Amino acid sequence: MSRVVVSGYIPGAIGRITELHAAYYSKHAGFGLFFESKVASEMSEFLTRFKEKQDGFWVAAAEEQVIGSIAIDGIKARSEGAHLRWFIVDPAYQGQGIGDMLLGEAVDFCRSSGFKRVYLWTFTGLDAARHLYEKNGFVACRENKGEQWGMVVTEQMFELIL
């Protein structure tokens, strides 16, 4: 089966990446409409204002279907750091190195763009993702209760100083 990582928007990406997030986080965290709407609207806003030199967006595809994604929102990269977002791999394809490839693309982009810091928000319980972050040099730097996901969870911020 052919697998590739594609840089930039491809038709159907917003819908498919939103679907991957909604299905996974509904099953594993109980997230619902609020979360799915947030993913779709924020990703749409990001891609509408996307600037090639400051932002990055990659999708993993297998047999012409989107099976994963990652983005770097660089709008505040110089002042606060680059924001890593929408990192997901279809559960049917997890454990095959796709997450490593996507995360590698994002970090390489940040380095080549001269960004000094990359950060992401997640929450406790996502052990496989945490393992990938830590394996790639990210460190947990903040933890608090929060509701940005549509329900109260223990949020975590990870950062990578470049």
Q: Which two tokens stand for residue 9?
A: 């928007």
> Would you list the domain boundaries of the chain?
3-115
What pLDDT does residue 105 have? Answer: 96
What confidence tens digit (pLDDT) does each residue in 45-77 have? 999 999 999 999 999 999 889 999 999 999 999
Q: What are phi and psi of 134, to 5 degrees?
A: -65, -40
Question: To the nearest 5 percent, what fractions of the chain are helix, strand and coil?
Answer: 35, 35, 30
What pLDDT does residue 148 have? Answer: 75
Give the CATH fold of the 3-115 domain.
Answer: Aminopeptidase (3.40.630)
Q: What span, in angstroms and rounded, lies between the C-alpha atoms of 91 and 89?
A: 6
What is the reported pTM?
0.94
What pLDDT does residue 16 have? Answer: 97
Quick one: DSSP state of residue 9?
-
- Per-10-residue mean pLDDT for the chain, 162 residues long? 84 96 94 95 97 96 94 96 97 94 96 97 89 95 85 91 96
Q: Which two tokens stand for residue 155?
A: 């949020």
Helix (H) or strand (E) holding 118: strand 117-123
Half-sphere exposure of 130 (CA within 13 A, CB side): 11
What pLDDT does residue 1 have? Answer: 57
What pLDDT does residue 125 have? Answer: 85
Among 138, 68, 143, 142, CA closest to 110: 138
- Rg (the chain; Cα; Å): 15
